[in-house]
Chain A
Amino acid sequence: MSDAILEAHAVRKEFGGLVAVSDIDFDVPRGGIVSLIGPNGAGKTTFFNMLTGAYTPTSGQVTFDGREIIGLPAHAITQLGVGRTFQNIRLFQTMSSVENVLVGMHCRMKGGIFGSILRTPRVRREEHRAHDRALELLRYCGLHQRVDEEYAMNLSYGDQRRLEVARALGTDPKLLLLDEPTAGMNPQESADFTAFVGRLRDELKLSVLMIEHDMKVVMGVSDRVTVLDRGEKIAEGAPAEIQRNERVIEAYLGSGAAGQAGATP
């Protein structure tokens, strides 16, 4: 029980008559890297949005670190320790890289109205420390010093992806949710990113849940892979098992393909 940082039980989401996610049981082990894969429209992002409070499930339970989080607003879930990135990059465009990370650190800071207006020593110290920490996170995520003061909108695509991760790390998460983090990256960048996710687990002791389409990334770094198709969980297991799973191959390539296509979904 306690070795899972996130547990979902019979989670279901309906939009009108459409069942987007159908009674899924799911968990992320503490310190583990779990990938969520599946064809487009399988319900992966919907599932993600329920974990982060953007959607409320129609039914089911989700516990994070032993606490029920269904019904909590998004910011409260972040405060508990769930950081996330977005599939379509959602940085604060007219804020600098540093400011973006500082926004991520918002819920770990205390400065209030009066402290900010009077700029008390405590607020000043806090701002100082936060600024240093933000720079540290930017370096850690592989952003160069020259982009610190650059608006997010002026960053290259790869740097924007990196900044998304840095910003999520700013919230000081225990569990990091990555929504298609390597979308649009070239093979070399994807390989680097795969190694980076491994470092997040090993060095920062993070648990990671990611939605990913790039099978190289998924197979390279995941401890476990969960496959969704049309809102249902059709397979779960170690990467090697999933690669051989017939239902998975069928979901990706269509029925009858299992015999011919062989190993790679």
Chain B
Amino acid sequence: MTARLADLWYELPWAVRRVVVPAIAVAALVLYPKYMSNLPTQFPEMSTAVVMCVFIVMALGLNVVVGYAGLLDLGYVAFYAAGAYVAGWFATLQFAPHVHHLWAVGVPSDLPGVHINVWLLMLAVGAAFAALLGVIIGLPTLRLRGDYLAIVTLGFGEIIPQAVNNGDNWFGHNVTNGPNGLTPIDQLGFGSAIHNTFGFLPENYRREFDVNNYYYWTGLFLIAVTLFCCIRLRDSRLGRAWVAIREDEIAAAAMGIPLMRTKTLAYAIGAFFGGVAGCFFAIYKSSTFPQDFTLNISIFVLCMVILGGMGNVWGVMLGGAVLAYLNYQGLNSIGRTFNDTFGTQISVPTYSFGIFGTVIVIMMLVRPQGLIPSRRRRAEFAAAEEGVSVGKAVMEE
């Protein structure tokens, strides 16, 4: 059925596929806050839409690791936490009474603590810190393969929140403020100088009436940047090397691809976008707590990648949007509609894990390649159905 949809899509003229449809989609997304009040209540509210953006960025990042390079990572939440805590360190009162400001916007210039420009934090510092963490975790662990790698990354995904939770006393220093978390975090904004020149760019999001709209647009911007990087990388020398490693490590090495270096790069790039997402979400919530970073998030993001279609950026984005929506609003509003229609009193969100589990099982049975699979995955699954063994040459060693 969906294969036929794909064929229809490719039959459309180039101009429609590459210009008209994307232009309409972008316009619809950007203008969403303007017309969403006219839509039924089942449509995502603005706060839900922001969360969806966060998870889409994360799903795209994890897709680099899992979908492109084929490295099963169950500890992705570690990088999300890294990004969030960078925001917590460098845009709060945490390091008061020291006062260090670097192009900080929207905060009084004598506010104690370290305050770095939030944009710089989100797009460079937080992300780079997460990427560095990715390299540090990756170097020892990426020597492992398949399931072994998954278990070790699972371990790191648990270690990081624990470490953060106990971080109010690391060798006598209060680094993370432990279970009390770090709050309040500086808000996004463009500062008075830019605001005075371009009136539509707010000085500080939190002072605007429709604060969620601004965070939503920022989220869209982050998705656009991430998507652009992912597509460019996929079609590059590095992207080919990832696919080669995913298919056959031994052959890839024999063709001159440095395994450790290439895998670590995938890990670091995935971590980078995890850091961006974590930093953004922490700023949006204006807080970060250790309990925000549970194993569930790693699994949840992995589900988005698998549900959407590993290796395909569009599928992964769809998967991220659908699952994040269901989790934060959809189950609730669908449940309410259900109860209203049938006069029942079921609290649908309480069954969320059961529902997600059922959805995944049904997907695996009906459409294991994901909602929108990549061409490669489709070919693999098609071949597997014909009984041809693909990709994994039997290892003589």
Interface residues of A in 58-72 (CB under 8 A from B): none
Could you tell me the distance in whole angstroms from the C-beta of B368 to the nearest C-beta in chain A?
16
Contacts of A76 in B (CB 8 A): 258
CA distance A84 to B252 in the complex (A): 11
B365 in contact (CB, < 8 A): no
**Contact yes or no, B247 A78, CB < 8 A:** no
CB-based nearest B residue for A151: B379
Is A93's CB under 8 angstroms from B390's CB? Answer: yes
Could you say which residues of chain B place their CB within 8 Å of the CB of A32?
Answer: none
A255 to B123, CA, bound (A): 74
Contacts of B379 in A (CB 8 A): 93-94, 151, 153
Q: Give Cα distance in the complex from A93 to B383, angstroms.
A: 10
Looking at the assembled complex, report how far the CB atom of B233 sits from the nearest CB atom of chain A, in whole angstroms. 6
Residues of A near B265 (CB, < 8 A) are: 113
By the criterion CB–CB under 8 Å, are A88 and B393 in contact?
yes
The docked-state distance in angstroms from the alpha carbon of A102 to that of B235 is: 12
B257 at the interface (CB under 8 A from A): yes
Stretch touching chain B among A104-112, A209-217, A225-233? A104-112
* A94: contacting residue among B229, B241, B243, B396, CB under 8 A: B243
23 A-B interface contacts by CB (under 8 A): A53-B253, A75-B255, A78-B253, A78-B256, A79-B256, A86-B251, A88-B393, A92-B243, A93-B380, A93-B390, A95-B376, A102-B237, A106-B255, A107-B255, A107-B257, A113-B233, A116-B238, A117-B232, A117-B233, A117-B236, A123-B236, A127-B237, A151-B379
Question: Which chain B residues (366-389) contact chain A, with CB distance < 8 Å?
Answer: 375-377, 379-380, 383, 388
Instruction: Report which residue of B237, B252, B253, B265 has the largest number of chain A beta carbons within 10 angstroms of its beta carbon.
Output: B237
Inter-chain contact A102/B396, CB cutoff 8 Å: no
Roughly how many angstroms separate A153 CA and B248 CA in the complex, as a whole number?
13
State which size class the interface on B falls in.
35 or more
Kindly supply a per-residue 1/0 record for chain B positions 127-163, scoring 1 wherever the CB is within 8 Å of any chain A CB and 0 otherwise: 0000000000000000000000000000000000000
A150-181 residues with Cβ-Cβ distance < 8 A to B are: 151, 153, 167-168, 170-171
Partner pick for A102 among B228, B233, B240, B250, CB 8 A cutoff: B240
A73 interfacial contact with B, CB 8 Å:
yes
Q: Does A143 contact B (CB under 8 A)?
A: no
Taking the nearest CB of chain B, how far is it from the CB of A265, in angstroms?
Answer: 25
Residue of B251, B256, B259 ringed by the most chain A CB atoms within 10 A: B256
Main secondary structure of the interface of B (DSSP, over half): helix
B331 CB → nearest A CB, Å: 36
In the complex, what distance in Å separates the CA atom of A93 from the CA atom of B257?
17
- In angstroms, Cα B397 to Cα A74, docked, is 15
Q: Is the CB of A75 within 8 A of B253?
A: yes
Q: Are B232 and A103 in touch, CB under 8 angstroms?
A: no
Question: B376 and A94: CB pair below 8 A?
Answer: yes
Taking the closest CB of chain A, its distance from the CB of B185, in whole angstroms, is 29
> Quick check: B244 and A95 within 8 Å, CB to CB?
yes
Residue in A88, A103, A116 whose CB lies within 8 Å of B394: A88
CB-contact partner of A90 in B243, B248, B257, under 8 A: B248
What residues of chain A lie closer than 8 Å to B251, measured between beta carbons? 86, 90-92
Does B269 touch A at the CB level, under 8 Å?
A: yes
Report yes or no: A95 in contact with B247, Cβ–Cβ below 8 A.
Answer: yes
Which of A74, A75, A93, A117 interacts with B247 by CB under 8 Å? A93
Choice from B250, B257, B390 contacting A106 with Cβ under 8 Å? B257
Bound-state Cα–Cα, A28 to B128, Å: 48
Expressed in whole angstroms, the minimum distance between the Cβ of B60 and any Cβ of chain A is 14
Q: Considering the chains assembled together, what is the distance between the CA atoms of A118 and B235 in angstroms? A: 12
Is the C-beta of A190 less than 8 angstroms from some C-beta in chain B? no
Q: Are B229 and A93 touching (Cβ within 8 A)?
A: no
Task: Return chain A residues, CB-CB under 8 Å to B259.
Answer: 73, 75
* CB closest residue in chain A, given B241: A106
How far does the alpha carbon of A102 sit from the alpha carbon of B259 in the complex, in Å?
Answer: 16
Q: Cβ of B229: which chain A residues have Cβ within 8 Å of it?
A: 117
Besides A93-B380, A106-B257, A116-B232, 20 other CB < 8 A contacts?
A: A75-B256, A86-B251, A86-B254, A86-B393, A90-B393, A92-B244, A93-B247, A94-B375, A95-B244, A95-B247, A95-B376, A106-B237, A106-B255, A107-B257, A109-B237, A111-B236, A111-B237, A116-B238, A117-B232, A117-B236
* B391 part of interface (Cβ distance < 8 Å): yes
Task: For the complex, give the distance between the alpha carbons of A224 and B380 in Å.
Answer: 42
Residues of A within 8 A of B375 (CB): 94
Residues of B within 8 A of A78 (CB): 253-256
- Name the contact of A103 in the complex, choosing from B252, B383, B388, B390 (C-beta under 8 A): B252
Q: Which of A45, A53, A119, A171 contacts B396 (CB 8 A)?
A: A45
- Contact A84–B232 (Cβ < 8 Å): no
Query: Considering the chains assembled together, what is the distance between the CA atoms of A153 and B183 in angstroms?
Result: 54
Q: Is the CB of B390 within 8 A of A94?
A: yes
With A99-B240, A116-B233: A171-B256 Cβ-Cβ less than 8 Å: yes
Residues of chain B contacted by A99 (CB below 8 angstroms):
240, 243
Chain B residues, CB < 8 A from A103: 240-241, 244, 252, 255, 257
> How distant is B148 from chain A, measured CB to nearest CB, in Å?
20
Q: Provide the bound-state CA to CA distance between A229 and B239, in Å.
A: 43
